Structures are given as C-alpha cells and as structure tokens.
Amino acid sequence: MIWDVDLRQALVHDHSRFELDVRFVSDASRLVLYGPSGAGKTQTLKLIVGIARPDDGRVAVAGRAMYDSASRLFLSPQERRLGYVFQDYALFPHLTVRQNIAFGLRRGLLNPSRSFAAAAVERWVEAFHLESVMGHYPHQLSGGQRQRTALARALVNEPAALLLDEPFAALDKRLRQHLRDELKELQEQLRVPLLLITHDDEDLRVLAQEVVHLHAGRVAAAPPALEAAIAE
Amino acid sequence: MEAAWVALLLTLKVAGWATALNLVLGVGVGFAMARLRFPGRDLLDAVFTLPMVMPPTVLGYYLLVLIGTHSAIGSWLNHTFGIRLIFTWQGAVIAATVVAFPLVFKAARASFETVDPQLEDAARTLGLREVAVFSRVSLPLAWHGILAGLLLSFARALGEFGATLMVAGSIPGRTQTLSIAVYEAVQAGQDDTANFLVAVTSIVCIAVLLAANRLVPGRVALRD
C-alpha cells in the first residue's frame, strides 16, 4: 500500500470543537483529497507530514511507518522526508529563488549562499524554466513561478512522496491548466507518489487515479458525479 | 577633561557588555515567550517587563539583595571564583543589563511573533534540525526588529544612573559612568566639565537613536 492513513484528532478552536477522524487506504500513485473548505483536508496533510500531532492512529507512506500510536512511534517531519507544498507556497521571503530551492541540500546553521550550485538545483531550475529569476526574491515572482519554485524546493530533497495543498488555487485558469498537465507528466516521469488537495473538478479529472472524499472531518462516500469524472 | 574621556570609555564598555548580554538573554527569552505555551506565561512576561516601569533605585536595591556580598549568590561567587560584583564595573554591567533587558525582550518577542510559523514548518519538512530552523528562518526574519531593540537598549544602558549608582557606586575611573559623572560635576560646581559631559552624552544618544530609527521593521520590504 502506498497510502495507509488512520488518524484522529480533536481540535478546539474558539470554543467550537472539530473532530477529525480520517481513514483511507490506497495504492494509487496519484491520490486526491477532495472536499469543501473546512472539511479537514489541510489538517490531514499536516498530520501525515508530521508538522501537527494526532491524538492517535497510524500513518504509513510507501511502505514506511511514520506514526503509530500503538507502538508509540512518531517520526519527526525531518525524519519523514516527505515533500510538502503549502497552499500559499511558504517560500522563504529573505532568500532568493536559488537559495529557496537549495534550502534542503545545505545542512548546518547557515543558509546556502546566493551562488550555491548543485546538480539537483540546476536540474529542477531547467525543468521548470526558472533560470531567469534565480536571483529574484519570492515577492518579485509571478504566481506560476512561485508554485514552481515551491515544487522544485520540495523535489530537490528527493522526497519519498509529494503532498500538495491546493497547488493551483492561486493561479489563473490558463496557467492552472498548463501546470496541471506539467505536474501529471512529472509524476509519471519520477514515479513519486502524489497526494493532493483540491476542490476543483478539473484537477480531479486530469490528475486523480483515486479520490478520497472528505466531509466534516470524515471520509464520505464520493458522490456518483465524482466517480464518473475520474472514470472518464 | 581627561576624566570625561575616561568616563565615556567606561560608559561605552559597560553599555557594550550589557547589550551583548541582552542580545543572548533578550533574544532567547523573547523567542521562548513567542513560541511556547505554558501556564503563567502572562505573569512571567510581566515580571520580565518590570524593569521598564520600576524606579531604577528599587531595581538596584533588589540587585544588592540578590548579588551583594552577603547574599547567597554573592558570597558563592566571591568564595568560588573571587568575583565581587558590588562596586565594580562588572556590577555596573549587571545593573545596566537588567534595566535595559525589557527593551530587547519586548522587541524580540514581537518580532518573532510576526514570523509565519508555516515558514518554520516548511524548513522542518525540508529536513532542518530545530537549531537550524531558528538560525536560518526565525532569526533572519525577526532580525530587523531585534536590532532596533538592541540599539534602544544600548542607548538606555548608556544613560543608566539609579541602579548603577546603587550597585557599583561612583568611583572615578572605575565605576563612574557618564551620567554619574555629570551629577558629581554639577554637585561640585564644575560647570565646564558638566557642560562637556552633557554634550558628549547627547551626541552619542542621538547617534544611537538615528541608527535605531533606520532599522525599525517596515522600512525594509523583505516580506511579500
């Protein structure tokens, strides 16, 4: 199994209580988490990556156990080596595109220099056509360039799987279409398992091999229209 | 006039050491208070801010009780290392550090709170150890605000009078800082010396404030 997820977490926010209870198992190398906003999609992703702590449950990705409350296993996000692309990309505003992409390659207490060079960096820069903006800071980039920089930053580390939180939400329609195809091609080429959040039907149609439908913190049966969209 | 230069150098030495200590203490405590959630956090914040509102003489008295020769800490330092803090320039450093601490601590806490926790999470998913997350993401993003706080604390330490007088006294050439020398000169009717000392102090303080103003966050457009 590529995805083996069984997580529970109670969240209290401003006196309202939200119960997350998500269970799914899948062998799809492109799996989509689909659902309305507030369904707990982002929180589920954070729990899988390890930057939030569940109350109990189990997570295994690509055959590797990451979390298991029964055996008190909790790998830190550093140990999980999962690539995570945040919804607003979370690029480091004080670093250039080159430094952002090289960020995970440089160990130690200092950031990579502005002229940091490595084969892995050049590879993704070329693949994503970022050569001309390598010295730019994130606020100087277009939406598409930001998204590609965030993707390159995650891929440089050769993650065991790639998790993306609404990767196309901040982009206009034409660019979205283009990057969607690009991501699909990339996944087929790298064979890296992909889990992505969306509430866009078009994302589902192009990218999903399987879909997990999330509603109010729980996995719900997918509406027939959705199933039809994927089968297409 | 030579006495004035001696006092100026001593003052710069004391304020410099106090600022260096506050860089470590203020940034450390500020970061902890910005990121950790624990019961009694608000009370602790109030205690750390106390030196800003309390009369310096009261602080000086507390310090005497705490590190004086007859206190537990003071006699331990004296017997183990032969260090005496009372009536020494090191004592003046302690006094200036405590008085100026809230300026660094407050600035550091506020600056760290503006750093998006998501950026720290992103660094973790990219494999960085916690120390590296701090040194490569949190600190550089909070740095401008911290630097402004440090310069203010340096200016505050330069002008320290009450607590320093209580702890270190007024020994010319050893613990007599600028502000205390001004007081002594006026008391002794040496108007020329007093005028000179006041002019020197004013120029140094204005220079520090000008530098601090240039570093106030918001001037530099780093975030997007």
Query: Residue A174 has what pLDDT?
Result: 85
| Torsion over CA: B141, B147, B148, B153 (sign) | positive
Instruction: List the structure tokens of B181.
Output: 């020398």
Asked if A214 and A151 sit in the same domain, the reply is no
Strands A194-198 and A210-215: unpaired
Asked if A16 and A66 sit in the same domain, the reply is yes
Q: Which range of residues forms the domain containing residue A178?
A: 3-82+161-231
Query: Residue A224 has what pLDDT?
Result: 62
- How far A83 CA lies from chain B's nearest CA (Å)? 7
Distance CA A183, CA A180 (A): 5
DSSP B71: S
Domain locations in chain B? 2-214
Residue contact B122–A81, C-beta within 8 A = no
Distance CA A172, CA A177 (A): 9
Distance CA B81, CA B25 (A): 23
Asked if A73 and A124 sit in the same domain, the reply is no
Asked if A148 and A167 sit in the same domain, the reply is no
Pick the last residue of a domain from A103, A134, A158.
A158
- How far B17 CA lies from chain A's nearest CA (Å)? 25
Radius of gyration for the alpha carbons in chain B, expressed in angstroms and rounded: 20
A4 DSSP β-pair partners: A25, A60
Asked if A149 and A212 sit in the same domain, the reply is no
User: What is the average pLDDT score of chain B?
Assistant: 90
Residue contact A92–B221, C-beta within 8 A = no
What value, to the nearest 5°, has the Cα angle with vertex A138 and ends A137 and A143? 140
Q: In terms of Cα–Cα distance, which of B106, B100, B103 is closest to B157?
A: B100
Q: Which residue has the tokens 């939400």?
A: A169
> Which of A94, A101, A137, A145 to mutate against chain B (most B CBs within 10 Å)?
A94
Which of A86, A109, A139 has the CB atom closest to B122's CB atom?
A86
Distance CA B6, CA B10 (A): 6
Q: How many domains, chain A?
A: 2
Residue B94 · residue B63 · CB < 8 Å: yes
Which of A49, A81, A90 has the CB atom closest to B127's CB atom?
A81
Distance CA B140, CA B119 (A): 12
Asked if A76 and A102 sit in the same domain, the reply is no
Q: In a structure prediction context, what are the per-residue pLDDT tens digits for chain A, which is 232 residues long?
A: 899 999 999 998 778 889 999 999 999 999 999 988 889 999 999 999 999 999 999 999 999 999 999 999 999 999 999 999 999 999 999 999 999 999 999 989 999 999 999 999 999 999 899 999 999 999 999 999 999 999 999 999 999 999 999 998 888 888 888 889 989 999 999 999 999 999 888 888 899 999 999 998 999 877 666 666 665 5
For residue A113, give the chain B residue with the closest CA. Answer: B136
A164 in helix, strand or coil?
strand
Portion 102-121 of A in contact with B at CB < 8 A: 103-104, 107-111
Residue A90 lies in a domain: no
Whole-model pTM: value is 0.87
Residues in chain B closer than 8 A to A111 (CB atoms): 136, 140
Residue A89 lies in a domain: no
Residue contact A51–B127, C-beta within 8 A = no
Distance CA B12, CA B93 (A): 11
- How far B183 CA lies from chain A's nearest CA (Å)? 47
Distance CA B201, CA B203 (A): 6
Q: Which residue has the tokens 């309390």?
A: B54
Pick the last residue of a domain from A138, A158, A178.
A158
Residues in chain B closer than 8 A to A93 (CB atoms): 119, 141, 222-224
- How far B134 CA lies from chain A's nearest CA (Å)? 9
Residue contact A82–B125, C-beta within 8 A = yes
Instruction: List the structure tokens of A177.
Output: 């279409």
Residue A22 lies in a domain: yes
Residue A62 lies in a domain: yes
Asked if A60 and A123 sit in the same domain, the reply is no
Query: Residue A118 has what pLDDT?
Result: 93
Residue B192 · residue B181 · CB < 8 Å: no
Q: Is A90 on the interface with B (CB under 8 A)?
A: yes
Residue contact B122–A104, C-beta within 8 A = no
Q: Which residue has the tokens 């055996």?
A: A71
For residue A50, give the chain B residue with the closest CA. Answer: B125
Indicate whether B222 pLDDT > 60: no
Instruction: List the structure tokens of B223.
Output: 């975030």
Q: Which of these ranges, A182-191, B68-77, B140-149, has the smallest mean pLDDT?
A: B68-77
Residue contact A139–B224, C-beta within 8 A = yes
Which of A86, A93, A107 has the CB atom closest to B224's CB atom?
A93
CATH number of domain containing A199: 3.40.50.300
Asked if A227 and A189 sit in the same domain, the reply is yes
Residue A192 lies in a domain: yes
Pick the last residue of a domain from A110, A131, A158.
A158
A22 DSSP β-pair partners: A7
Which of A51, A86, A157 has the CB atom closest to B124's CB atom?
A51
Residue A111 · residue A99 · CB < 8 Å: yes
A163 in helix, strand or coil?
strand
Distance CA B108, CA B103 (A): 9
Residue contact A90–B221, C-beta within 8 A = no
The CATH H-level superfamily of B2-214 is: MetI-like (1.10.3720.10)
Distance CA A198, CA B61 (A): 63
